[in-house]
Amino acid sequence: MTAISLPLFTITHQSKFSLPPVSRLPNKPFSLPSIFYNAAAASRGAKPVRASTSEPASTKSAETIAVENADSEESTLFVIRARNQIGLLQVITRVFKVLGLSIDKASIEFEGEFFIKKFFVTDSHGNKIVDEESLEKIRNALMDAIGDGGDGDVVGSATRGVTVRRPASGLVSGERKAKAERMFALMDGFQKNDPMSLQKDILNHVEYTVARSRFSFDDFEAYQGLSHSVRDRLIERWHDTQLHFKREDPKRVYFLSLEYLMGRSLSNSVINLGIRDEYAEALNELGFELEVLAEQEGDAALGNGGLARLSACQLDSLATLDYPAWGYGLRYQYGLFRQLILDGFQHEQPDYWLNFGNPWEIERVHVTYPVKFYGTVEEELVDGRKSRVWIPAETVEAVAYDNPIPGYGTRNTITLRLWAAKPSDHYDMESYNTGDYINAVVDRQKAETISSVLYPDDRSHQGKELRLKQQYFFVSASTQDIIRRFKDAHDNFDEFPQKVALQLNDTHPSLAIAEIMRVLIDEENLDWDRAWGIVCKIFSFTTHTVLAEGLEKIPVDLLGSLLPRHLEIIYDINFKFMEDLKKKVGLDYSRLSRMSIVEDGAVKSIRSANLSIVCSHTVNGVSKVHFELLKTKVFKDFYELWPEKFQYKTNGVTQRRWIVVSNPSLCDLITKWLGTEAWIRNVDLLTGLREYATDAVLQQEWKMVRRVNKMRLAEYIEVLSGLKVSLDAMFDVQIKRIHEYKRQLLNILGIIHRYDCIKNMNESDRRKVVPRVCIIGGKAAPGYEIAKKIIKLCHVVADKINNNSDIGDLLKLVFIPDYNVSVAELVIPGADLSQHLSTAGHEASGTGSMKFLMNGCLLLATADGSTVEIIEEIGSENLFLFGAKLDEVPTLRERGPNMKVNLQFARVVRMIRDGYFGFQDYFESLCDTVEADKDFYLLGSDFGSYLEAQAAADKAFVDQDKWTEMSILSAAGSGRFSSDRTIQEYAEKTWGIEACRCPF
């Protein structure tokens, strides 16, 4: 096979650049491989797309391919007019190469957003192509390669390679039909799941995917081979699900969230696929353990806390309940930082979670969209009417990375699509034209920065700009993908609300509203009223905020610079809203100002929450308490205007992750006593445990399961810190993000009080003390100094307690660093008591308490967030409540300076102030935050009640039979707090979607 160099392309208004050489195939008669045909048209029952030779290359509306044989005696001229696309030149040259053709010369001209590409081509003998049938085949192959795809997921505007499509039955004939039938015969069965087949699969992946010898590989390489084997089975179901959705064309929900805490995927996947035992057996015969290999997987820390983990649970439930859904987010190169503790101080390190690859994602290089920034807006006449046209100054590409999300007990496997930012081809062309290689590299880095870091530090202007870029990049790519998928099957946007529901997970994706308005008006040429009517029917908004001052705002100057057209649209939305509002509330300027989307002030800003409320048909709270706060405080003005818009769906967590995966022993025990595994999909069946709560046999088995889980946690603590803890002690846990309102400081002050009491007891009194192992874990935001001081305080107190021989096993304090989903899966099953201490009115929901509840852990909590509903479900007698109620908090804050100080509280704070634990000066500002006139979160006010609740927990723990009964009743009452119930409520009351189950 000989190779020839392709002559330089001539580019109008651009400098020259060269493409890779195209190889000639061996001399043989020209024939077109049978894989090329227009499957997209065929699947709709249409004839293949063909370009007429008489069609001019300057057609304004679509891609065209023309053939001109008169201009040259030596070669055939193909004139291709197509939209400017990443990698399109490579696509075309590769098509010619696959067809055995050679390109003698070529040129490119720009025409607006289109390229005019001319290729002088000869056949494998170096001759001009004159046979009409061969020319027609070449045209169809080229059109198919640059077209819009046939699987519902190929994006014509960004195809990077030749698209090869599966022939459809009945649409081909002769030799091609025979080849199609052969292909289907090879692929008509599902992957086999017997242990022998799984072993062969794993070893093949070890050798051919991981490139290690099947006779010598370690645990990590075994994990990689295992993961790819599991992924094969996920992809099989995933393809079937997407084809089923496309065929049925149901209304779909698109879940927009900037954060996801998915945790590890291996264990969850094999359980949801229903083949865990088969894999365990296959691995055992190879000399490996499934549990050990599962530990090799790292966490994808693409979120900050509860909101991100909630998103992951909801995707699991959407898949399990067979709802047609897509999740969208960002593929951060660096997730939430890794927390290192050095000498008790938190240090942040980048989380290089992609360093060793991610076997669960599929890079969709053919699914890319241009995302534009900056520039100007100009007015043009289009079809006789004035239109606003955005002329951007910067373009980056959004590349899709798909993560299959399997449902449990169903074939349905849905998609979490994460976007990564890549430089546009425009960067490369601009830079290479001037020979500016350095600028090309800088531009590439600048583009990729957009999806680099979760939560960039937004204290500077550059940080704020990057955060806004992330938000728009995310929603622009997602909405382009959503609209493209809709247009694949529909051509009337009036049908958009019947096929699309868009869920805004908090205010981060709120720019999607302005973006869809822009697309409908500027690109699809709908008038304002029609576009506005569509937008108001497709969006629903869930807020997780409890304080109005915590709501997101975007500076107008920044938005106007980065997204000038979107600012215009938001101003127009606000103007029309204000005019309508004046008709309803009159000239109440104070109320008009509060409800305006645009906030005037020292820094003029866009209120993202107000924009989301005005443009959404439903506004959701996440618990009953949160709903009341939204109605009476946070969005009081909007609730009075539109009470019908406001709903609440209490958040939930998935029992598959938080019992089946993380606590398999408890899972087996529950199944044994209920006599069915059906509770894994229908978690309400857990209430059946109530009738056995006092059964001595169940109690004994329940205790044994809990003790085994405590052993695992104790071993982890010893490996982590070298500290041995007693299994007879109460494992008292508080793991969550470190924040003043979550009151980890209250917990530490309580531990200091307990330590002080034990230290001053005589020996006989000490024998009556219930031993405790207090476990705290969580990360402080990098710029949150008070939270970091709380972490340091925890460590110095632990040093004092754990090294005091008089205390012994009566009290231990452990801080677990780098808390994440995988750590939670170990800690939660081993906990006896879980503390949820937020000041009433500050926790929107609190899903952490639900995970502990499902695992039979007792709660010590304030009546805040979802705890109020937990009380309703399991009874106040089965948990330990303390602290001020929601309606008491404002009064207590007003009385703050005049309140009588709790003497026990004053003593422990004084111990810190006086340097009993060292670092006297360092902790001074921390102690200042709990002084009577500064104690915003009411630690001093609630301290006495907190100690009483702790004493009640001690008393209950002594009676292990009673404690176990309470534990069983906690798990039995947790069904209401499953994300399955939450998603079903959203589907029925908000999104209007129905299950679309993929047949087996």
Distance, first Cα to last Cα, the chain: 47
> 847 catalytic, yes or no?
yes
Between CA 56 and CA 81 the distance in angstroms is 9
Between CA 969 and CA 964 the distance in angstroms is 9
Asked if residues 298 and 291 have their Cβ atoms less than 8 Å apart, the reply is no
Q: What is residue 334's DSSP assignment?
A: B
Nearest residue to 970 (alpha-carbon basis) of 886, 862, 850, 803:
850
Between CA 648 and CA 639 the distance in angstroms is 13
Asked if residues 655 and 854 have their Cβ atoms less than 8 Å apart, the reply is yes
Q: Which is catalytic among the residues 246, 252, 372, 736?
A: 736
Q: Which is catalytic among the residues 237, 737, 753, 800?
A: 737
Residue 304, helix vs strand vs coil: coil
Q: Which amino acid is residue 799, in one-letter code? A: D
Between CA 135 and CA 67 the distance in angstroms is 8
At residue 546, φ and ψ (nearest 5 deg) are -115, -15
Q: What is residue 109's DSSP assignment?
A: E
What DSSP string describes 49-96?
Answer: P---TTS-TT-SSS-EEEEE-SS-SS-EEEEEEEE--TTHHHHHHHHH
> 742 catalytic, yes or no?
yes
Strands 114-122 and 76-83: antiparallel
What DSSP string describes 774-838?
Answer: EEEE----TT-HHHHHHHHHHHHHHHHHHT-TTTGGGEEEEEESS--HHHHHHHGGG-SEEEE-P
Q: Which is catalytic among the residues 851, 862, 964, 982?
A: 851
> 97 catalytic, yes or no?
no
Asked if residues 853 and 592 have their Cβ atoms less than 8 Å apart, the reply is no
Match 């995310």 to its residue by tokens.
474
How many angstroms separate the Cα of 642 from the Cα of each of 30, 32, 477, 581, 625?
Answer: 69, 62, 31, 11, 19
Strand segments (E) across 848-972? 858-861, 880-881
Q: Which is catalytic among the residues 76, 122, 847, 990?
A: 847
How many angstroms separate the Cα of 743 from the Cα of each of 389, 545, 731, 774, 798?
Answer: 51, 18, 19, 15, 17
Q: Cβ–Cβ contacts within 10 Å for residue 690, how many? A: 14
**CA angle, 36 as apex, 34 and 39 as ends, to 5°?**
115
User: Exposure pattern of 282-308 as b/e (b: 16+ CB <10 Å)?
Assistant: bbeebebebeebbebbbbbbbbbbbbb
Chain centroid to Cα 403, Å, comes to: 10
Between CA 541 and CA 535 the distance in angstroms is 13
Give me the residues paired with residue 386 across strands.
381
> 737 catalytic, yes or no?
yes
Q: Which is catalytic among the residues 544, 739, 772, 795?
A: 544
> 767 catalytic, yes or no?
no
Q: Which is catalytic among the residues 246, 706, 742, 753?
A: 742
Residue 432, helix vs strand vs coil: helix
Asked if residues 510 and 608 have their Cβ atoms less than 8 Å apart, the reply is yes
Asked if residues 271 and 660 have their Cβ atoms less than 8 Å apart, the reply is yes
Residues 6 or more apart whose CB falls under 8 angstroms from that of 903 comprise none
Report the catalytic residues: 544, 736-737, 742, 847, 851
